[in-house]
Amino acid sequence: MLRSITRTPLGMAASVHKLAVRTLMTSLPASDRPRSSAMGAIRSSGNSKDMLDITNLEEFQFDDSATIGHDYLETQREVRKYLRITKYELPKLKAYVKPFQPPTKTQILRFRTSTYIGEANHPAARKVVLTVDTKSLPLTNPELHKFLLLVGPRYDPVKEQIKMSCEKFQDRSQNFKWLSDTLDKLINEAKKEPETVSDVPLDLRHAAKNMKPKVRFPKEWNRPTTTTTTTTTTSTTATTPATETA
């Protein structure tokens, strides 16, 4: 049996699939084996449930492409889809162009997402990252101190920003909502008796590496640059003609 299988991976897979289908069909009772007349009656009746039954499947005749071939064709279709959008749909967006307006003081939240073209179900596509400046939060100094104690290592003391991410939900909009609700809960909790934790210091060990001062070479230690001037002396020699004596 192994000698009849082609040595190529595609041929080997096709031969194994054909052998498995034949073994399954021969192990079934004669009354359950597919027949052309029965398949014709099933197709004409439109009963899709019976057509999906494994006992009613026709024998594979190796007249179709393999799974890897269908995946390649699907990739080509998606590439051509975006090429058509680029050529015919993107020029229409000029009618909706608006001048850039910087965010207002109330628009303090920044969300970042990643889209992987060609991979609709990429596991990292649902991840949402929230960034907000601590100076823009509607909190007093004691409330801000309690807020920073609550967020913990999500606080960056160098940039003075809070950074949170969420990918626990399958849909991206749910992760948006979770981050927004969590930030609101933290702000509301920070406003409740902030004086009780005013003497608790912030734990900034997570940012100790970024907070180290950068060692720079002192300018006073630089070697002084000396400018040497070269003077060129030109000597002129006067030649006196010799006098001839008779």
**In this model, does residue 198 exceed pLDDT 60?**
yes
**Per-residue model confidence (pLDDT) at position 65:** 81
Whether the CB-CB separation of 113 and 172 falls below 8 Å is answered with: yes
Give the Cα separation of 117 and 124 in Å (integer): 12
Give 193 or 213, the one with higher predicted confidence.
Answer: 193
Give the Cα separation of 44 and 27 in Å (integer): 27
Whole-prediction pTM value? Answer: 0.51
Strands 161-166, 155-156: pairing kind: antiparallel
Q: How many CA atoms lie within 13 A of 213 on its CB side?
A: 3
**In this model, does residue 22 exceed pLDDT 70?**
no
**Per-residue model confidence (pLDDT) at position 55:** 78
**Per-residue model confidence (pLDDT) at position 60:** 74
